[in-house]
A and B are shown apart, each in its own frame.
Chain A
Amino acid sequence: MEQYFYQLMDYLTSQLHGAEIFLCEFEGEHSDFTRFNHAKIRQAGTVEQRYLTLDFIDGARHANAKLTLSGEKLLDQAQLLTILNNLRAILPGLPSDPHLLYATEINSSEHLGNNALPHPKDAVMEIINQVQGNDFVGIYAEGGIFKGFANSLGQRNWHSSYSFNLDWSFYHSQDKAVKTAYAGLHWNNAAFQQKVDRALQELELLKQPSRKIPRGKYRVYLAPAALSEICGMLAWDGFSAKAHCSKQSPLLRMSQAPQQNLHPSITLREHTAGGIAPAFQAQGFIKPDAVTLIENGVWKNPLISPRSAQEFGLITNGADEEEMPNSLQLAAGDFPQADVLKTLDTGVYINNLWYLNYSDRAACRITGMTRFASFWVENGEIVAPLDVMRFDETIFNILGDNLLALTQEQEMIIDSDTYEQRSVNSTLMSGALVKDFTFTL
Chain B
Amino acid sequence: MFAEIKQRFRKVLPDLPFCSLRYVVKRSEEITVRNHIAEPPVLNYDTGAMITVIEAGGLGYAATSDLSTAGLYEAIIRARQWAQRSRHYSVTNFSKIPMPHPQGEYHSPIQTPWESLSIAEKIALLQHEAQQCPADPRLVETELGLEWTDSKHYYLTNAGGEVYQHIQQIVPHISVIANEGLITQRRSFGAHGHSQQGGLEILDRVGFYGACRTLADEALMLLSAPDCPTDTRDLVLAPDQMLLQIHESIGHPLELDRILGDERNYAGTSFVNMEMFGTYQYGSPLLNVSFDPTISEQFASYGFDDEGTAAKKTYVIREGILQAPLGGISSQYRAGSTGVANARACSWNRPPIDRMANLNIDAGDSSLDEIIASTERGIFMQTNISWSIDDSRNKFQFGCEMGQLIENGKLTQVVRNPNYRGISATFWRNLHKVGNQSTFQVLGVPFCGKGEPNQVIQVGHASPVCAFTDVEVFGGAA
Contact = CB atoms under 8 A, between A and B. Distances in A.
Interface of A: 31, 33-35, 37-38, 40-51, 55, 62-72, 75, 79, 83, 86-87, 90, 93-95, 97-100, 121, 124, 128, 137-139, 141, 167-169, 171, 174-175, 177, 179, 246-248, 252-253, 256, 354-363, 365, 367-369, 371, 388, 390, 392, 394, 417-420, 422, 440-441
B213 interface: no
Contact of A365 (B265, B390, B453, B476): B476
B177 interface: yes
Given A44-B60, A168-B265, A253-B182, A368 B79 contact: no
Contact of A68 (B40, B45, B141, B177): B45
A357 B43 contact: no
Contacts of A179: 265
Contacts of A94: 38, 40-41, 119-120, 123
Interface stretch (B85-93, B235-243, B276-284): B85-93
Contacts of A79: 45
Nearest to A65: B43
Contact of A362 (B183, B262, B269, B421): B183
Contacts of B475: 360
A70 to B, nearest CB: 5
Nearest to B453: A418
Interface stretch (B7-15, B61-69, B102-110, B318-326): B61-69
A394 B477 contact: yes
B13 to A, nearest CB: 18
Contacts of A67: 44-46
B449 interface: yes
A35 B65 contact: no
B48 A83 contact: no
A247 B266 CA distance: 33
A34 B81 CA distance: 13
Given A64-B41, A177-B264, A354-B391, A246 B66 contact: no
B40 A355 contact: no
A355 B141 contact: no
B417 interface: yes
5 contacts: A43-B59, A72-B66, A99-B37, A99-B39, A419-B456
Given A43-B351, A247-B179, A357-B388, A48 B63 contact: yes
Contacts of B89: 40-41, 128
B395 A388 contact: yes
Contacts of B47: 68
Given A175-B391, A368-B388, A359 B399 contact: yes
A73 B85 CA distance: 33
Contacts of A394: 477
Interface in B235-268: 260-262, 264-266, 268
Given A40-B89, A362-B476, A363-B477, A248 B65 contact: no
A37 B183 contact: no
A70 B388 contact: no
Interface in B308-361: 349-351, 353
Contact of B453 (A55, A70, A121, A139): A139
A43 B53 CA distance: 11
Nearest to A100: B40
A93 B38 contact: no
A41 B390 contact: no
A63 B41 contact: yes
A195 to B, nearest CB: 15
A418 B261 CA distance: 20
A-B pairs, 10 with minimum CB distance:
A93-B120, A45-B61, A363-B477, A360-B476, A247-B179, A418-B453, A139-B452, A138-B265, A41-B86, A67-B45
Of A100, A248, A394, most buried by chain B (CB within 10 Å of CB) is A248
B116 interface: no
A93 B31 CA distance: 13
A46 B78 contact: yes
Interface in B11-31: none
Contact of B40 (A64, A69, A71, A390): A64
B184 A362 contact: yes
A45 B18 CA distance: 16
Contacts of B86: 34, 41, 44
Nearest to A369: B390
A44 B82 contact: yes
Contact of B261 (A37, A99, A422): A37
Contacts of B71: 70-72
Contacts, number: 258
Contact of B118 (A87, A93, A246): A93
Of B62, B265, B268, B454, most buried by chain A (CB within 10 Å of CB) is B265
B387 interface: yes
A46 B48 CA distance: 13
Contacts of B351: 43, 45
B478 interface: yes
B91 A37 contact: yes
A137 B269 CA distance: 11
Contacts of B41: 63-64, 90, 94
A128 B89 CA distance: 8
A375 B327 CA distance: 34
Nearest to B475: A360
Contact of A355 (B59, B67, B388): B388
A97 B388 contact: no
B371 to A, nearest CB: 26
Given A38-B91, A139-B266, A390-B421, 18 more contacts: A33-B453, A35-B452, A37-B91, A41-B58, A45-B351, A49-B349, A51-B46, A55-B40, A66-B43, A67-B45, A71-B71, A83-B45, A167-B452, A246-B140, A248-B141, A357-B386, A368-B388, A369-B390
A359 B419 CA distance: 7
Nearest to B43: A65
B119 A93 contact: yes
B48 A49 contact: yes
Contacts of A175: 268-269, 390-392
Contacts of A70: 65-68, 71
B42 interface: yes
Contact of A167 (B61, B65, B265, B477): B265
Nearest to A356: B388
A95 B32 CA distance: 12
Contact of B391 (A137, A355, A418): A355
A248 B177 CA distance: 8
B60 A72 contact: no
B397 interface: yes
Of A358, A394, A441, most buried by chain B (CB within 10 Å of CB) is A441
B216 to A, nearest CB: 15
Nearest to A87: B43
B90 A46 contact: no
Contacts of A43: 59, 61, 351, 353
A360 B388 CA distance: 13
Contact of B37 (A40, A97, A388, A390): A97
A49 B66 CA distance: 9
Contacts of A368: 388
